Amino acid sequence: MLKNVWITGASSGIGKALAIKFANEGWQVAASARRENLLKELNSQNPNIHPFPLDVKNESETKNIFLNIVKKFKTIDIVVFCTGIHDPDAEKKLSSEKIREIMETNFFGTLNSIMAVNNHFREKKSGHISIVSSVAGYRGLPAASGYCASKAALTSLAESLYFDFKRYNVRVSLISPGFIKTPMTDKNKFPMPLIKSPEFAAEKMFVGLTKKNVFEIHFPIAFTMIMKLLKIMPNWLYFFIIKKGMKTIKY
């Protein structure tokens, strides 16, 4: 029996690697992103990947695209919402315009995607909604006020939705990657410990989504466990450690 997955943010980075991984495993992949040309390239490389261009910031367009996906595939088993942006240079200047742009894409874009699949999963009483957040959502970090806020909001959203969808036998999971080499992290001008490839991330995500039944899929473990430790530290100790780190990397 064919399995179907919808992935947003599929034109590059983690989303692209995940689309390729699912397709190589025999799944039919509905791949969404704004850059239609990149989605068509993926389709030419693997016919299991089907382009559905989309700007998730547009709520009505997101709903219509999902209806088209269901019309083509009849049903969707898993959705993985990977859309995300970050601009560390702009965030250093603390721009309300930039923070609003990040929230509109990362949080509200994901929310639009969730609302698009809401009725489908509740009515069929099965399925899986997975939200890609980040360990950056654990605590506030320098030059990332908008990004950290958006990811923290996604993490809380996933936790709340876990209860809401469980009543309908729909699984909700959270994905919290550490540093993954993507066009977005290429903008960072500081050392990124234990940075991994998008293919590494896709492998961990595929296993967590299809072979395990956990709420949070986080990786690489050696790094995410350090971040989890920082999460539960007293504020004074956390601020002291981060301040020392900022001096080391000349923030």
Here the CATH number for the domain that contains residue 156 is 3.40.50.720
pLDDT at position 99 is: 93
CA–CA separation, 176 vs 134, rounded Å? Answer: 4
Has residue 57 got a pLDDT over 80? yes
Tokens coding 222: 């050696």
Structural domain total, the chain:
1
Establish whether 147 is a catalytic residue: yes
Mean pLDDT of 101-128: 97
The side-by-side arrangement of strands in the sheet containing 49-51 is: 49-51, 28-32, 4-8, 78-81, 128-132, 171-177, 216-219
Please give the residue range of the domain that contains residue 98: 4-248
Q: Name the catalytic one among 138, 147, 162, 168.
A: 147
- Overall average pLDDT of the 86-104 stretch: 87
Considering the entire predicted model, what is its pTM? Answer: 0.93
Contact 179, 88 (CB under 8 A): no
Question: For residue 82, is pLDDT > 70?
Answer: yes
Instruction: Please tell me the distance from the alpha carbon of residue 23 to that of residue 136, in angstroms, as a whole number.
Output: 29
Residue 249: which pLDDT band, with cuts at 50, 70 and 90? low
Q: Which residue has the higher pLDDT, 244 or 5?
A: 5
Q: Band the pLDDT of 250: cuts 50, 70, 90.
A: low
- Tell me the per-residue pLDDT of 196-210, one tens digit each, with 9 for 90 and over: 999 999 999 999 999
What pLDDT shows up at residue 248?
Answer: 57
Residue closest to 194 by CA, chosen among 227, 216, 165, 168: 227
Give the model confidence (pLDDT) of 127-174 as tens digits.
Answer: 999 999 999 999 999 888 999 999 999 999 999 999 999 999 999 999
The rounded mean pLDDT for the chain is: 93
Model confidence band, residue 192 (pLDDT cutoffs 50, 70, 90): confident
Percentage, residues of the chain above pLDDT 70:
96
Question: Average pLDDT of 44-68?
Answer: 97
